[in-house]
Amino acid sequence: MDFSDKFYKLRTQAGYSQEAISEKIGVSRQSVSKWELGSAIPDSDKLVLISKIFNVSIDYLLMDNHDEEDNSMDLDHLVVRFIASAKEVNVISDQLVEIAKDGIIDEDEKKKLKEITDTLNSVSMIINELKCKIGDNPDSLQ
């Protein structure tokens, strides 16, 4: 699978339109189209941004691996779940700042903190599942 295939797959799995991902990366929709058609590849600074957006390595994006299709759809699904949960972490950061602003945590804020910790636990479980799938955890069951 080459860059164009990987980029298209990552974009569609994450639910981005060409227009939406082009805005996120800071390029034209036509650039995204050229990348997906294989007629161009992004500059290095854009590759770094793409790797961060989709939580993949630059090596993954650029290496032409034919055995990528052997990975289970479970891994693909986990990556999509992780991307979605990473977006939640940005929201949580803002919520924590708001809670801590006055230096006092009231009952409503305690409830919100419970929701935040539940979300963070969910993100942690997704990360652990990803580690198991990619072999990053030697004690994991695959």
Residue pLDDT, tens place only, 102-123: 999 999 999 999 988 887 877 7
Q: How far is CA 10 from CA 39, 52, 80, 91, 128, in A?
A: 18, 12, 8, 22, 20
Average pLDDT, the chain: 82
- Does residue 139 lie within any of the structural domains? no
Within this chain, do residues 77 and 106 fall inside the same structural domain, yes or no? Answer: yes
- Does residue 142 lie within any of the structural domains? no
Within this chain, do residues 7 and 63 fall inside the same structural domain, yes or no? Answer: yes
Within this chain, do residues 39 and 79 fall inside the same structural domain, yes or no? Answer: no
Question: Would you say 7 and 40 are in contact if contact means Cβ atoms under 8 Å apart?
Answer: no
Within this chain, do residues 8 and 33 fall inside the same structural domain, yes or no? Answer: yes
Question: What is the total count of domains within the chain?
Answer: 2
Within this chain, do residues 60 and 75 fall inside the same structural domain, yes or no? Answer: no
Residue pLDDT, tens place only, 17-54: 999 999 999 999 999 988 988 878 899 999 999 999 99
Given a cut of 80, whether residue 76 has pLDDT beyond it is no
Domain that holds residue 7: 3-67
Given a cut of 80, whether residue 66 has pLDDT beyond it is no
- Does residue 140 lie within any of the structural domains? no
Whether the full predicted model's pTM is greater than 0.85, yes or no, is no
DSSP letter (8 states) at residue 27: S
- Does residue 60 lie within any of the structural domains? yes
